[in-house]
Structure 1
């Protein structure tokens, strides 16, 4: 997956008019919406989460921890063979 493909995928999921900032790291990209000054002034940044777009195409939602920490925790989980965060893409199908 390329950075452009990652941006296209997350943009389609978030459906926002705001720019999305990607930070590349070992296993993919951390994505976070860049809020406007008005949105920040109204408090929308409080609790704003991040998304990880894994190079495999899986996207997971994460808490509002600092981006570097989210990336470090995700990378550690991947090194252990796990995916960290709540998977939002592709959506999990119904279970029997």
Structure 2
């Protein structure tokens, strides 16, 4: 998946008209919605999470921390064979 495909996927999943910033790293992409100054003034950045689009295609949600920190933590977990975060796409099977 390329940068633009990752951006389009996250724009669709977030249902936003705002731009989505996409940051490449060794296991895929980190993505975060870019809020307007008005949205920031309304406090929408509080609790705004970061999403990881894994190279496998799985998208996970992560806490409101700087994207480089999320990417570092995610990469460390992947090196150990784990995927961290809450899976948001594809929708997880509720039977699991």
Q: TM-score when scaled to structure 1?
A: 0.94
- Matched positions, count: 96
Matching of residues 6-25 of structure 1 within 5 Å: 6-25=6-25
> 1:19-55 deviations in whole A, cap 9, x for unaligned?
0000111111110000000000111111111100111
- Any gaps of 5 or more consecutive residues in structure 2? none
Quote the RMSD (CA, aligned, Å).
Answer: 1.1
Q: Distance in 2 between matches of 1:4 and 1:34?
A: 15
User: Would you identify which runs of 4 or more consecutive aligned residues in structure 1 move more than 3 Å?
Assistant: none
- Any gaps of 5 or more consecutive residues in structure 1? none
Q: 1:80 aligns to what?
A: 80
Q: TM-score when scaled to structure 2?
A: 0.94
